[in-house]
Structure 1
């Protein structure tokens, strides 16, 4: 059964029942044992929500990728209190962003690593799907008049009405790089817009495996350029970079970080800051928490597997010999020559010549022999010495001597797997493990940004992680790398193989200002559970960070990039109850005055709990920083009002947050195990996660063997269909660039054989299409060059008959018989362009009006109301107990009641 609202309900309902009873048993056991330790799962509503999300993601792995994508990219209407305007980022902006990436890569890397410069620019839509979002009450009822003579649409008018809002959050949603959309995150995005008292620009980037790396990165960069350099026809005025904050969760957080590094490297103006929520920055899974935190996180044990379909896996039936086997050769593979994927024709021919000439590889060595060469018995001491020496380097440019540290042997490239036992022969991967990128691309710094040559010289970063999530270690390591470039250098192999990474390590040495918070007991992307006390504080802290970095001048931010060590929460955060109809000031007033006068949603008027908690946490932080920098009592960092009394540079704030949202200082770096990992161990595919993935994939291969066989057969039928489509298009006059037209008589015969069934056009801004990739090697999952999936055929048909790239000389006519077939094909249309991939184009629910994503929001709202009432009762009970014991009650927190209205709030 595909992923639908009904199937999700059927799958999740038993989980809810089991969780209810198991929660009661667990609470009873804690009471019996007298345990006083607070856990996030002590709250029955968080416990239920955690298991609901975990069960849904688990259900997704038992369905096809296309099914999960379709469900999570189904359009969900915005609630009445939100103002949402859909826009399409045009191809012209996409082209400017592509030029930036082309310059970043350079011709050699484009060819050897990316597979070309054309295929990732091919798209089905005429731009990028995106939305402007804000609170309806923030709209300006009298916007500046438009320069357009034509009548504006409702969406265009809405964009004009929110153009006065200076603060802009560019939000990039998560979902493992292959699912999720602006619809799954709509209510979170609305909440951010309300909290920052500004607007959010959310981008629905193309997703893997149909549009793998670097397609999503390309779209995120295009979204940023759309904001700062509006194309003709855009309703918004250019947003200054210092008024923009990047924000994203999981894969979206990593895309934000990666886009920042490209923007920095290419000299494009940087935004004011970035919020990274559980960013997935290491796709090699080289950190310990990936193996240790599976039970306490929502991420599936075996990763993002899927039921086989024509789209994914690349190889539905396991390759001969298995998906993971002992190494076939000792030397690591050359770039683009990993043994995981189908070899090119030229490479296969080269291998055949070597075999015939007796030049095949010698005996495959053990890992110790590979690491040490001719003296395996002495390998351990020299390897350890090299790793320790590399880890102690204080300057990114420092190098260990080649005779002590052989990069090729110590840092094996994919598909080689780093083994725990040096006496073992290394493993090789023969299947693509991640949907986002090919196996040999996983160590590229734009795929796994933990391997960037430098994370310095970036705008201030606010990084959040759950202490119980599988990505915790890589997030903590990332934060410390950014704030301490010299102490955490990139491993030597990345610097050696990446021209730009070597330059960056030497060029960008200024530490990035980082605020790292690790939340006790929380799982991946804690903001999903918006009703929890931890998440409420996180939303407030994120909002104050955005306000601080966008409201203050650059010079002040260099000294005080953290709002907790600067001003108090802005005046716009607290308003008098009943202020709902405040008129907007004249356009001549300052931006801060205009923001302060904006009307406040009623949900915030009676809710000061998150502000009180934020102020209490701020006080705790200031006291900790004062103590850390040993300031004299007469010279505190800030006065009683929170205003800085002197400027002291604080490079990094490191905090832990308990289940009540209260902060405390993080333990010293020396006590954090993940920070002791040598750089040479970071970003390597290792044995344990590889074997765990293999175990899960083998279970799926056995469970869905019939589905895999059917997928292979269906691919063959679709290839035949694509071949027939191309033949018919050629018959009807399709001409590509530099091709000669057919003979006049042949053209005349073609025109009499068919009738025009479409009105296509050649789009000047559409550079490339699926027929322009003969000399490129895109990833095997990319539909740009495939001919064996329905989505690939839809893309091909659109680019032939409807919106052709400039490389097409003609738009051919469509045969009548083809139009008749299209009328009976649910994936086609006899007149209009076929619907494009669900990884790019939103779908619309036609049968069930209440979609599962809206049901989730209703559940969150319900949990928020119940949690608030429970917290109020708990506070009263705690106060009575404290009074009875004669103790002072300090810091009692009033729960956030912003969701107690008659309508569900975001």
Structure 2
């Protein structure tokens, strides 16, 4: 169903829900064989990287240790255009597997119930229309089904070992056991990255466990619907349902109502995009004075205590100059390579009718709830934590930090020199990753426990020495809104000519 102001429904649509199977595969030999097969052709690359790094002649030997350079070069080789792309559905099947739960963490899978009414979906559709450019055509997207959302409660399990299996008890009992170890009111609503079509809360358990451990709180990691099977705004609707469930849980919920002052949004890459567009949706609700009917009661929708972002993907068109200039520091392919890689057809892609981008329809790529870099204002926002490296997405994170802080929003910005996209989650062995998680969790804990202590600050951290340099957020980005929009318009034009896909990150 295509959305127009007159067709925003009050009743459910009869649509087929797309689900993904998740199974605990364990560390079996069968799982290891594909990995070995994939790495064998990379042996010459690994050897060359090691030799050049040891001799000090590689570009990054002064910035990275050997392990980092090997990891980045090998990862880049899988997605830089030198290998044939796989069908979307095959890539999803390979990367969206559940590796199982093991070690020092609690994981309790919870079903977050959709409300009895359809106000929340109607309100989202109205916000999408209200936030379009003046004169833009109505609709242009498929209204998603309003459905239950699955999520994982994650906490640190101090008494376990690295090899401990979870106890064989009901999920509700796991949640109770987890809460016995939670000593802080911090509740992180987490959205995983993966270009909106890959990954899962299960793939991000190492990250959510670490956030829970350091903050001494708990994390609710959302299993939102993935594209291309479920394009925008399905994931955003799931995010709204998850947040409202935290605030106003229904019967059968594991948790009691969580005060908004104890909730912090968190996410990486595409998940950080979801944090921002969820925030923009809430801000739009507040601008219009909206209250929602939620399970029989009229509810206000308050803002969280803060929003924390790791390598946020703010521009799905990848139009910023750093998307080209920072390619040597990142494992993500530059846009020209992405545009040239067309995956073979499969059941998931291309869609009917066709579109250019895996996540959103062509007409919405510059919508503020798809690419939050073009959000006209951040006025009224809670404090933001913005972290990035020297990556493809650096410029858009700079622009976000400058724009929001310029509007009086508290922004804590950290940039890690020469580090790639989401480096702290990928390169756990380097000191910079520990420093990144410390900065991230310091912000989260502070906005909950001592919000008055959080002040606008910009810091650039050196790669190996971790020497810190203060930066002025007012001059971090010199881009004007007009320049940003002009680049995006040019990139959309380039993308839509020939209808090539550009899904990455």
Residues 528-573 of structure 1 show CA distances to partners (whole Å, capped at 9, x for unaligned) of 2222111111111212211111112xxxx2x4214xxxxxxxxxxx
3-state SS of paired residue (1:238) = coil
- Provide the C-alpha distance between the structure 1 equivalents of 2:492 and 2:67, rounded to a whole number of angstroms: 32
1:540 aligns with 2:438: yes
Alignment of 1:338-417 (within 5 A): none
3-state SS of paired residue (2:327) = coil
Deviation at 1:54, TM superposition (A): 2.6
Alignment of 1:348-747 (within 5 A): 432-467=355-390, 469-485=391-407, 511-528=408-425, 529-552=427-450, 557=451, 559-562=452-455, 652-660=456-464, 662-667=466-471, 675-684=477-486, 685=488, 687=490
Deviation at 1:207, TM superposition (A): 1.0
Rg bigger for which structure?
1
Give the one of 147, 158, 165 matched to 1:137.
158
| RMSD, matched Cα | 3.4
Equivalent pair of 2:272/2:312 in contact (CA under 8 Å): yes
Equivalent pair of 2:314/2:396 in contact (CA under 8 Å): yes
Partner in structure 2 of residue 199 of structure 1: 218
1:67 aligns with 2:90: yes
Alignment of 1:61-460 (within 5 A): 62-92=85-115, 95=118, 97-105=120-128, 112-115=137-140, 119-121=143-145, 127-137=148-158, 154-163=170-179, 165=182, 166-267=185-286, 268-301=301-334, 302-303=337-338, 305-314=342-351, 432-460=355-383
Residues 305-336 of structure 1 show CA distances to partners (whole Å, capped at 9, x for unaligned) of 42222321238xxxxxxxxxxxxxxxxxxxxx
Which structure 2 segments of 5+ residues have no match? Answer: 1-30, 161-167, 287-300
Give the one of 35, 49, 70 matched to 2:71.
49
In structure 2, the CA distance between the partners of 1:272 and 1:688, relative to structure 1 (3 Å rule), is closer
In structure 2, the CA distance between the partners of 1:246 and 1:293, relative to structure 1 (3 Å rule), is same
3-state SS of paired residue (1:185) = helix
Alignment of 1:19-34 (within 5 A): 19-30=46-57
Equivalent pair of 1:289/1:472 in contact (CA under 8 Å): yes
Equivalent pair of 2:129/2:139 in contact (CA under 8 Å): no
- Provide the C-alpha distance between the structure 2 equivalents of 1:516 and 1:107, rounded to a whole number of angstroms: 30
In structure 2, the CA distance between the partners of 1:108 and 1:670, relative to structure 1 (3 Å rule), is closer
Partner in structure 2 of residue 18 of structure 1: 45
In structure 2, the CA distance between the partners of 1:669 and 1:119, relative to structure 1 (3 Å rule), is closer
In structure 2, the CA distance between the partners of 1:477 and 1:231, relative to structure 1 (3 Å rule), is same
In structure 2, the CA distance between the partners of 1:76 and 1:58, relative to structure 1 (3 Å rule), is farther
In structure 2, the CA distance between the partners of 1:532 and 1:107, relative to structure 1 (3 Å rule), is closer
Deviation at 1:678, TM superposition (A): 2.8
Equivalent pair of 2:104/2:159 in contact (CA under 8 Å): no
- Provide the C-alpha distance between the structure 1 equivalents of 2:32 and 2:401, rounded to a whole number of angstroms: 38
In structure 2, the CA distance between the partners of 1:455 and 1:300, relative to structure 1 (3 Å rule), is same
In structure 2, the CA distance between the partners of 1:28 and 1:471, relative to structure 1 (3 Å rule), is same
- Provide the C-alpha distance between the structure 1 equivalents of 2:404 and 2:474, rounded to a whole number of angstroms: 17
In structure 2, the CA distance between the partners of 1:113 and 1:58, relative to structure 1 (3 Å rule), is farther
- Provide the C-alpha distance between the structure 2 equivalents of 1:690 and 1:7, rounded to a whole number of angstroms: 38
Deviation at 1:258, TM superposition (A): 0.9
- Of 191-200 and 682-691, deviating more is 682-691
3-state SS of paired residue (1:169) = strand
- Provide the C-alpha distance between the structure 1 equivalents of 2:116 and 2:459, rounded to a whole number of angstroms: 40
Which structure 1 segments of 5+ residues have no match? Answer: 140-151, 316-341, 343-430, 486-510, 563-651, 701-906
- Provide the C-alpha distance between the structure 2 equivalents of 1:688 and 1:19, rounded to a whole number of angstroms: 35
3-state SS of paired residue (2:397) = helix
3-state SS of paired residue (1:455) = coil
- Provide the C-alpha distance between the structure 2 equivalents of 1:306 and 1:8, rounded to a whole number of angstroms: 21
3-state SS of paired residue (1:183) = helix
Residues 4-46 of structure 1 show CA distances to partners (whole Å, capped at 9, x for unaligned) of 7644432233335413332322431449xxx9x97433x1111
- Provide the C-alpha distance between the structure 2 equivalents of 1:212 and 1:463, rounded to a whole number of angstroms: 26
Provide the aligned length of Structure 1 versus Structure 2.
441
Structure number with the higher helix fraction is 1
In structure 2, the CA distance between the partners of 1:61 and 1:182, relative to structure 1 (3 Å rule), is farther
Deviation at 1:284, TM superposition (A): 2.7
- Provide the C-alpha distance between the structure 2 equivalents of 1:472 and 1:219, rounded to a whole number of angstroms: 28
3-state SS of paired residue (2:275) = helix
- Of 302-311 and 165-174, deviating more is 302-311
Residues 274-326 of structure 1 show CA distances to partners (whole Å, capped at 9, x for unaligned) of 110111111233311112222321212322742222321238xxxxxxxxxxx
- Provide the C-alpha distance between the structure 2 equivalents of 1:20 and 1:692, rounded to a whole number of angstroms: 37
Equivalent pair of 2:129/2:138 in contact (CA under 8 Å): no
3-state SS of paired residue (2:202) = coil
Structure number with the higher strand fraction is 2
TM-score normalised over the length of structure 2: 0.78
Equivalent pair of 1:54/1:299 in contact (CA under 8 Å): yes
Deviation at 1:243, TM superposition (A): 0.9
Residues 166-188 of structure 1 show CA distances to partners (whole Å, capped at 9, x for unaligned) of 21111100011111111221211
- Provide the C-alpha distance between the structure 1 equivalents of 2:489 and 2:285, rounded to a whole number of angstroms: 33
- Provide the C-alpha distance between the structure 2 equivalents of 1:527 and 1:173, rounded to a whole number of angstroms: 14
3-state SS of paired residue (1:677) = coil
Residues 179-226 of structure 1 show CA distances to partners (whole Å, capped at 9, x for unaligned) of 111122121111111111111110011011111111111111111111
Residues 619-653 of structure 1 show CA distances to partners (whole Å, capped at 9, x for unaligned) of xxxxxxxxxxxxxxxxxxxxxxxxxxxxxxxxx31
- Provide the C-alpha distance between the structure 1 equivalents of 2:457 and 2:123, rounded to a whole number of angstroms: 33
- Provide the C-alpha distance between the structure 2 equivalents of 1:168 and 1:174, rounded to a whole number of angstroms: 19
3-state SS of paired residue (2:355) = coil
Residues 22-76 of structure 1 show CA distances to partners (whole Å, capped at 9, x for unaligned) of 2322431449xxx9x97433x1111122234334445997111111112222122
